[in-house]
Structure 1
Amino acid sequence: MTTNIQTMVDSSLSTWENWNGLGYSERTAILTQWASQLEANAKSMVEFQCRNALEHVGETLLMPGPTGETNELYSAGRGAFVVTADIDATITAIVGQITAVLVTGNTLFICLPTGSALSGKALVSQLEKAGCPHGVVVAVDCDQLADLASHTAIAGVAYAGQLSTSQALARQLAARDGLLAQLVTETDCELLPVIGSPTYILRFVTERTRTINITAVGGNATLLELGSGEH
């Protein structure tokens, strides 16, 4: 593992905490501003993913608990993801991946081949102009994909393209040490049955519980926060 890859991952995870803490409303506002620069189908895809995020994971749920204790269940991003696609993947497919990763509170590395329908560097520029903080989205060269996907701190890979490449990525992620990583694949870049699913965004979140004990001596509140899928 090169020092450069380690530095990039460390930087992304450092940025992730603040981005994840913004909340769905602020992230949606930024992504909606970005969508205004996109073609009609891609813009609709951004709006679709943001609506689904608000409906499925944007709400904090109050759970039952003993008197004097408040328990909340909510969703958060998993960490840093890699978004990649074959050269023939559609703009709508790529935009759908990016939106789902970002709106749910993750940071991402964009890895797109030369000649792709979109440029990674151009996407970073668009998103930052729309209000996305620097470092949340980073464009990387395709020759860095294998090292990034193999890094144990990467939460997962979102890929659109051929089944054979998807299988190769699955084998690579399965060979990693440590926690299992998510592989979210779309092999039909025209009909988009996976990316176009209302529950697609669930692939990019983890559940957290927050307990506030207000019965402590002197009335001080004690906060306990637990999460699943944490790195």
Structure 2
Amino acid sequence: MTTTIQATMQTKIQDMVDTSAASWEGWNGLGYESRSQILERWSEELEPELSAMVSFQCRNAAEHVAETMLMPGPTGETNELYCAGRGSFIVTADAETPLVAVIGQVAAALVTGNTLFVSLPSGFSLSAAELVAQLEKSGCARGVITAIDCDQLADLVSHPAVAGVAYAGKQTTSQALARQLAARDGMLAQLISETDCESLPVIGSPTYSLRFVTERTRTINITAVGGNATLLELGSGESH
């Protein structure tokens, strides 16, 4: 591969990462209810098993991560603890992985406020491009979910701005992804791996959505000079 071709590929990868990052703030800012409504509209176009998986992930996210908790603080100050999406995730799977597993990954990652890159193998029951088209038709803004080619996957996994990878398939591939993520520069990335694609104990867990979020605190000072409220936000994840 020539240097020119490599440079072109890297530029394309960076453009995709920048677009996804720019879309993240708006998607994360929609809130759980609005994101769930979009995903429920998507689920209406799916087969019953797949629709049930989308509803399952939305329902569990509403129970475990959607609520904002009020924390104690001094008089004149309001402190809130809430969950936000981590950023841009990759969703990928093996050719033998059932579609319901991928649907569960996508639903959990999106409802919790993350943007997605989706890479699915050739011959899979649904292409990444078809998945993107379905979700954009249901209300996802362009850039919230992006289809990527298999030959772009390794470069995106290694990109320091990607928050994590949700993978369903073989244990050996999961281990290879873990090594690749550990070797890269930048922020620590999350590998969310499902290797039992028959029982789906990870994706089927009621707390699966917790793997896609970071906790943040929001402080509002209502005693500022002149009555103006000042706001401070702190997060346990990377700022975007």
**Smaller-chain TM-score range?**
over 0.9
**Aligned match of 1:137:** 145
**Aligned match of 1:9:** 17
**Aligned match of 1:159:** 167
**Aligned match of 1:222:** 230
Residue identity opposite 2:67 in structure 1: E
- The Cα shift of 1:7 comes to 0.8
**Aligned match of 1:35:** 43
Matched, 1:101 2:102: no
**Aligned match of 1:85:** 93
Q: Percent identity of the aligned residues?
A: 71
Aligned equivalents of 1:173, 1:145: Cα separation in 2 = 12
Aligned equivalents of 2:144, 2:221: Cα separation in 1 = 34
Aligned equivalents of 2:11, 2:136: Cα separation in 1 = 26
The total of aligned residue pairs comes to 231
Normalized against structure 1, the TM-score is what? 0.99
Question: Secondary structure of the residue that 1:2 maps to in structure 2?
Answer: helix
| 125, 131, 152: which one aligns with 2:133 | 125
Question: Secondary structure of the residue that 1:74 maps to in structure 2?
Answer: strand
Q: Are the aligned partners of 2:42 and 2:135 in contact in 1 as well (CA < 8 Å)? A: yes
Q: Runs of 5+ in structure 1 lacking a partner?
A: none
Aligned equivalents of 1:205, 1:91: Cα separation in 2 = 23
Normalized against structure 2, the TM-score is what? 0.95
- The Cα shift of 1:179 comes to 1.4
Q: Are the aligned partners of 1:87 and 1:112 in contact in 2 as well (CA < 8 Å)? A: yes
Residue identity opposite 1:186 in structure 2: E
- The Cα shift of 1:218 comes to 1.1
Matched, 1:52 2:70: no
- The Cα shift of 1:230 comes to 1.2
- The Cα shift of 1:34 comes to 0.3
Residues 56-101 of structure 1, C-alpha deviation per residue, up to 9 Å, x if partnerless? 0000000000000000000000000000000011111000000011
Matched, 1:200 2:194: no
Q: Are the aligned partners of 1:89 and 1:117 in contact in 2 as well (CA < 8 Å)? A: no
- The Cα shift of 1:103 comes to 0.2
- The Cα shift of 1:118 comes to 1.5
1:163-174 alignment to 2 at 5 Å?
163-174=171-182
Q: Are the aligned partners of 1:88 and 1:117 in contact in 2 as well (CA < 8 Å)? A: no
Runs (4 or more) in structure 1 with deviation over 4 Å come to none
Aligned equivalents of 2:47, 2:41: Cα separation in 1 = 13
Question: Secondary structure of the residue that 2:184 maps to in structure 1?
Answer: coil
Aligned equivalents of 2:181, 2:117: Cα separation in 1 = 16
Aligned equivalents of 2:230, 2:102: Cα separation in 1 = 43
Residues 166-208 of structure 1, C-alpha deviation per residue, up to 9 Å, x if partnerless? 0000000000112110000001111100000001111100011
- The Cα shift of 1:48 comes to 0.4
Residue identity opposite 1:69 in structure 2: E
| 103, 109, 122: which one aligns with 1:114 | 122
